[in-house]
Amino acid sequence: MLTSTLMRPILFLSLAAIGLPAFAWGPEGHSLVARIAEAQLTPAVKARVLEILGPGKTMPSVASWADEVRRARPETGPWHYVDIPNDKKRVDMERDCAKGDCVISALSRLRQTLRDPASTPDQRREALMFIIHFVGDMHQPLHSSDNKDRGGNSVQVSFHDRKTNLHSLWDSGLLGRLQPEDQLFPALSQEATKRRKKFGHGTVTAWSEESHKEGVKTVYGKLPKPVDATTPIDITAVYETAADPLIRLQLERAGARLAYVLNADLK
């Protein structure tokens, strides 16, 4: 967990240098979502969550587990996103979620496992850890948008004189320019709690479509035009100013909705 302004640029540079695949938010973003959600759980559900996770585990501590096991379990890779084409407004499950391999179907299956009294403790624990992560994932707009560019991984950008790609920029680059996690959390949690009734309803499908809309409008819609096919797009202060409020909003929405899911499924 990042707790100092010094560590934040270091994290961004390391992520940009290794060119991560389509992971969403990065550890700091997922931890924030989990912390926001945890603050909105009922006392009974919070106790149940800790019981399922087991000794020494908390929602923030397991929030990035699904990324950590992704290479060892490649079958889970498609569960992190849903590819809604940018020229479409709605999810088409046959088109966008072939064989049930997308975040929408994965969350449905995992929530069933979490609720099922016949599930083993290990099955329930794994389902919970995936749910904590995937609700966060789907609120990163590039995990619900498909511009035929591998979720922005194929779009090369330059951000404060560092080369990266659009997906990594939205995972951690932009977030890393905001306040440290421990300073961000109180304000984000307060806003998410204030608007929990507005955020905490609806369906997973509707949340994906909302995230997709934000991706088309801001992630791609505000993106500066490329100079040519080989020059990385320069991310301007204007773009960063448009992106920052959306990042904060999506983290707030994700936290409130994760709490909504767990309060409903574990009551």
Please calculate the CA angle 55-31-252 and round it to the nearest 5 degrees. Answer: 130
pTM of the predicted model as reported, rounded to 2 decimal places: 0.90
Task: Write out the residue range of the structural domain in which residue 97 sits.
Answer: 7-265
Number of domains within the chain: 1
Interval 28-55 mean pLDDT:
97
Where residue 76 sits, what CATH number does that domain have? 1.10.575.10
Q: What are the tens digits of pLDDT across the range 79-133?
A: 999 999 999 999 999 999 989 999 999 999 999 999 999 999 999 999 999 999 9
- Give 124-191 as a DSSP string: HHHHHHHHHHHHHHTTSGGGS-BSSSTTTTT-EEEETTEEEEHHHIIIIITGGGS--HHHHHHHHHHH
Could you tell me which of 209, 214, 256 has the C-alpha nearest to residue 103?
A: 209
Residue with the larger pLDDT of the pair 8 and 135: 135
* Greater model confidence, 6 or 178: 178
Rounded-to-integer distance, Cα 204 and Cα 202, Å: 7
Mean pLDDT along residues 217-238: 95
| Whole-Å CA distances, 1 to 9, 32, 64 | 14, 10, 11
Is 2 within a domain?
no
Q: How far apart are CA 125 and CA 211, in angstroms?
A: 27
Say how far apart CA 13 and CA 134 lie, in whole Å: 25
Cα 6 from chain centroid (whole Å): 24
Convert the pLDDT of each residue in 139-156 to its tens digit.
999 999 989 999 899 999
- β-strands 156-159, 162-165: how paired? antiparallel
